[in-house]
Every structure is written in C-alpha cells, then in structure tokens.
Chains A and B, each alone.
Chain A
Amino acid sequence: MRAPQSLKQEFLKKWMVGLQLCESTNQNMSILERKKAIKLSADIAMASTRNGMTCWSRALVAKTSTDFGNKVLVDNILLASQSEKLKNKRTIIRRKKILRKSHRARKARGGRVVARSLAKEMVKKRTQVLKSLVPGGEFMDDVSLIEETLDYIVSLRAQVDVMRTLAKATELMNGK
C-alpha cells in the first residue's frame, strides 16, 4: 500500500510541521524543553502517519494529550497534518475474548511440569514488560499485542532513521 520511503517522508513532513508549531508557540527554550518538544512532535508525527489504524498510535496520541499543555499542541499538529481520523477514532478496538476453561490445579509431579510452569511464568512476565513498552499495550490481548509490536517496531525504525538523518544533516550544515 505504501512504500517505506513515503512513510519516512510523511513522517518527516508531519514532524516538521510539529516542530514549526512548537517553535512558534515558544521561542526561547532550554535544551531540555527543546528536547521534549522534539520528541513530542516526533512521536505525534509517527503516530499520525498511521492514521489511527493501529492501537499503539491511538494510545500514544491519547497519552501525550493527557499531559497538561500538550493537548493544544497535539491537536494543532494533528490538525496541521490533516489526520483528523486519528482524533476521531480513539476508541480501542478489542477482540472478542475466548472464554477459557478454568484450569484444574495440576499437581507438580516431576521436573517437566515444573519446567513448563516456569517457562509459562517467564513468558508471562516478559509479555507484561512488552505491554508496558508498547503504548496502549495494557489493553491488548496476546495476538494483537504482537501485531501492534510489529507495527510499532517498523514505525520506530522509520522514526529513528529520519531523526538520525536529520541530526546528521544539521551537524554537517552547522559544521560547514
């Protein structure tokens, strides 16, 4: 549907719009404020490239707009980047849950059962961590969590690429 390069370009465009907005609202910032603004606008831009198709982008927008003062900025960026869809579609799509049979308490006999339960426990722990990492992950089931993680990783990579490129370019330009 969409080539990754156009994804990057879209992201860059939206990011630039967001940066300009940040710049216009606040002229003199400390380095930390600037960093915050850059990160915020980059995140919003990344989320808005998804057009509200994915859970993580919606969750990201929702999360960033809950911070005080950011709401206006977020709305402005979204407005400027013409992704109205993202704002309107904030409801989280949940999958139908499969009712599971209650597990009977199994007696631990032998090492195999212990190992199995141990492995299960490990997976569960890691899934929890992953849920905390992916925005909006707390509301996802296992399958959609992995799907969203896939999507999120792809977007993060694009973001990192663009940001690195930009940093490189500005460095070169400043050096000259």
Chain B
Amino acid sequence: MNRALLPEMLHCTDMTVLERQRARFKWQQEQELQQQQQQHHQQESFFGDLSGVFQLQLQHQGLQGDLGEVVTRSVKPDPASMDNGWPGLVGFGPSGYENNNGSGFDVNYAISRTSSCQPAVAGAAVDATVLAESREPVMSEKLSPGVGRENLKKRKVDKLQHNTKVVAEDESRDKRVKGCAGEGESMNTEKNNNKSSSTSKNSTKENSAETSKDNSKVTEVQKPDYIHVRARRGQATDSHSLAERVRREKISERMKYLQDLVPGCNKITGKAGMLDEIINYVQSLQRQVEFLSMKLAAVNPRLEFNIDNVFAKEQAFPAPTTNFPETGMSSDLTNPVYLQFNQAQQQQQQQQQQLFSSSGSIPEMFIDPSCFTHIQPSSTWDAVSDLQKIFTM
C-alpha cells in the first residue's frame, strides 16, 4: 500500500530530510522485525561521524541515485544484512531500501547521476551481501588492499555469483557504464573512499565500501536538473538507453514545433523530409533578406529611408488605416487555433509563434491584398523568385 506513496516522495525535491525520515519511519515500524538489529547497533558507533555529512548532502532525492543498488539488493539472498550501515547514517529505516525495490525500479532513474558510482564499490556491496557471514573474513581480506583498486576482481566475483539472475546482470552492466564517470565525480568518490577507509579501521571493509558508494551517490544527487523517465516494458533501462531516449523525445518535440512553424511541413512525415523543408524555408528566408536589402538599396539612392515618415507609419502598427501587413497579422492573435500548442515552449517563442505560424499558410499571411498592389502573384515565394529573376536579368 505504501508503494504508491513512495514515487511521490521520490519526485518531491523540496522535501526536507526530516520529512523524509518521518516517512521512512512509518515503514520502519512495519518491517522492523528483521534480524539485523544487532549489527545495526554495532555499526552505528562508527558511522556517527559521517552522519553529519550525509544529512547535509541528502537534500534532494537521495534514493533515486541508489536505485541501482536497490535493484541488486532485491535479488540477493539476505537483503537486510547490508542495509545496516544506512540507518546508522541518516536515521533511515533499513526497510526504506526494501520498499523501494518494487516501486523504485520502474518509476524513475536519475540519468545523469547514475553515472558516477564507482564500479568497484558497487561490486563490493553485492559481493558482501552474497557472501554469508561465514565467508566474511575472506571478503574483507580481499577488499582490504584498497577499495578503488579491486574493481575487476570484485566484478568478476559479482558476475560469478549473479550471472543466473537477470536483474543482477543488468545491474552489473549498469555499473560498468557508471565506470566511465567524469573526473570531478571520480575525484569526489576518491575522496570519499579515503575518508571511508580511514573510518574503516575498526570496521569491516564492505561497510566502508558501501558508505563511499552512498556518499558519492548522494553528492551527485544534489544536482537539481534531472529528468524523470519511465521505461516501458521491454525497453532497455540502462542509463545510456534512457538518455538516448530522452534526447530523441526532446528532438521530436522540437521538430513538432518546427513543423508548426514552417509552412508546408504538416503533411511531411519523416525526419529527413522535415529537415528538407526546414532547410528550404530557412534558405528562402535568407534569400529574401538578401533580396530585400538589394531592393531597398536599389529603391533608395541614399541610405536614408525617409525614416520619419516610415517611422510614423510603423509606429502606428495596430492602427487600421495603415496598409501594412502587420495590421492583418495582428488579427491573427485572436485566433484560438494558435493557443493550443506550445505550452512547453518558451513564452517568447510562444507568442511569436502564435502570431507567425498561421497553421502553415505563410503566403496568405504575407499577402495582404491591400498591401501588395503591384506585386500580385499567387504566392509570395513566386513573387520573390520572379523579382529575383528580374534582378538577375
């Protein structure tokens, strides 16, 4: 029942840490009866010094970045055992992760920030969870030379133990993607690693690995610009596919706006055809500018354009007595057709589009019968080309 509630929490950026904790607390009460309590208490002591850092950093959706981790946990045999470090840090219930398993997985990925997780760390976390308590000495020994250096080995182990599980495999792929992180972020994780290694003297290594992982994720989660994406069934969910999908959606959306803006683009399907049309349109506009400047230069022997007169007329744009095309166009503002698109567009562009894009029929818009008395062709483009021909002759 609470799973429906969780996505909203994830979406809500301005939620404070306190509110989050409170919400988490409810979950905690429901699922508190797990066996990790004793470990929880023992680890609380050494995580106490880090908790201040975490609480500062956990402004935004700390859990979004952790989704990958959540996924791996959902498949591991003993999910609760690894969560011990977390409640000590921020006071979150250990159940917070488990509850995320179902809802968080398909709800949203923070694309840009899943990329900074250190692969080694994630692998270590998975390893540690997979191995039972009896194997722990081996693991800690393995991890002890340094968290950052052991990437490959750990990932190998990780794969060995998880290759039967699809989700885990997917996750490991994700981690590999994460491996190519930006320098700044890697620096960050490195710093965290140092920190955690210093604290890990009196603790097991896997926990330090987890803290560094959480740390890095939380810091990158800080960034306010993120996109929610929902992967449909059957679609790839690794961060690159998602990013690519978002990009494509963005482009197609902009293309739609362009389609509205460019005349004659409505009937064309396909990106190439639309681009063709856009290119033609831009070229024709540029040629028109060229041509009109030529025309102005020809009409006027000097550069002064009787500006006072013209200005007097131009300033009186909306006045019905002037026979400029602007008067005809201003009536287009009232047309309700334009109001239906472009809510998402910048307001500036929106207003301009409302005026300019009269459902793809520029010629009618440009040809004001009162205005073009001596150029009276069927369409403005023809007029321009005709005049250009005249000019070149």
Task: Contacts A9-B315, A127-B275 given; indicate if A34 touches B303 (C-beta within 8 A).
Answer: yes
A153-B292 in contact (CB<8A): no
**Cα-based distance from A112 to B281 in the complex (angstroms):** 31
Within 3-28 of A, Cβ neighbours of B (below 8 Å) are at: 3-5, 7-9, 12, 16, 19-20, 22-23
Indicate with 1 or 0, residue by residue over A145-158, a CB within 8 angstroms of chain B CB atoms: 01101111110111
Q: How large is the interface on A (under 10, 10 to 19, 20 to 34, 35 or more residues)?
A: 35 or more
CB neighbours of B240 from chain A (8 A): 98-101
Chain B nearest CB, measured from A106 CB (Å): 16
A130-B289 in contact (CB<8A): no
A35-B351 in contact (CB<8A): no
CB neighbours of A173 from chain B (8 A): 306, 309-310
CB of A174 closer than 8 Å to a CB of B: yes
CB of B324 closer than 8 Å to a CB of A: yes
B315-A168 in contact (CB<8A): no
Say what secondary structure dominates the interface of chain B.
helix
CB of B317 closer than 8 Å to a CB of A: yes
Within 23-45 of A, Cβ neighbours of B (below 8 Å) are at: 23, 29, 31-32, 34-35, 37-39, 42-43
Flag the segment in B35-43, B88-96, B203-211, B255-263 that touches A. Answer: B255-263
Task: Contacts A7-B352, A98-B243, A150-B258 given; indicate if A170 touches B310 (C-beta within 8 A).
Answer: yes
CB of B272 closer than 8 Å to a CB of A: yes
CB of B390 closer than 8 Å to a CB of A: no
**Cα-based distance from A125 to B295 in the complex (angstroms):** 33
Per the CB 8 Å criterion, the residue count for chain B at the interface is 69
**Cα-based distance from A163 to B311 in the complex (angstroms):** 13
**Cα-based distance from A76 to B314 in the complex (angstroms):** 24
CB of A138 closer than 8 Å to a CB of B: no
A149-B356 in contact (CB<8A): no
CB of B307 closer than 8 Å to a CB of A: yes
Chain B residue at smallest Cβ distance from A173: B306
CB neighbours of A149 from chain B (8 A): 258, 278, 282
A31-B297 in contact (CB<8A): yes
Chain A residue at smallest Cβ distance from B355: A4
Interchain CB contact (< 8 A) of A126 among B247, B272, B285: B272
Chain A residue at smallest Cβ distance from B275: A126
**Cα-based distance from A160 to B362 in the complex (angstroms):** 12
Interchain CB contact (< 8 A) of A130 among B278, B288, B306, B371: B278
**Cα-based distance from A128 to B275 in the complex (angstroms):** 10
B292-A160 in contact (CB<8A): yes
B258-A98 in contact (CB<8A): no
CB of B132 closer than 8 Å to a CB of A: no
Task: Contacts A161-B325, A169-B310 given; indicate if A96 touches B112 (C-beta within 8 A).
Answer: yes
Chain A nearest CB, measured from B330 CB (Å): 7
Interchain CB contact (< 8 A) of A165 among B278, B289, B326: B326
CB neighbours of B255 from chain A (8 A): 146
B297-A174 in contact (CB<8A): no
B272-A119 in contact (CB<8A): yes
CB neighbours of B366 from chain A (8 A): 161, 164
Task: Contacts A29-B303, A100-B244, A169-B313 given; indicate if A133 touches B282 (C-beta within 8 A).
Answer: yes
CB of A93 closer than 8 Å to a CB of B: no
CB of A105 closer than 8 Å to a CB of B: no
B292-A164 in contact (CB<8A): yes
CB neighbours of B352 from chain A (8 A): 4, 7, 154, 158
A5, A149, A164 pick with most chain B CB within 10 angstroms:
A164
B347-A1 in contact (CB<8A): yes
Indicate with 1 or 0, residue by residue over B304-348, a CB within 8 angstroms of chain A CB atoms: 111101110111011000001110011000000000000000011
Interchain CB contact (< 8 A) of A143 among B247, B311, B372: B247
CB of A122 closer than 8 Å to a CB of B: yes
Give the interface of B toward A (CB within 8 A): 112, 177, 180, 240, 243-244, 247, 250-251, 254-255, 257-258, 261-262, 270-272, 275-276, 278-279, 281-283, 285-286, 288-290, 292-300, 302-307, 309-311, 313-315, 317-318, 324-326, 329-330, 347-349, 351-353, 355-356, 366, 371-372
Which 9 pairs across A and B sit closest by C-beta, in order of nearness? A126-B275, A34-B297, A35-B297, A146-B254, A39-B293, A23-B303, A163-B292, A156-B285, A38-B293
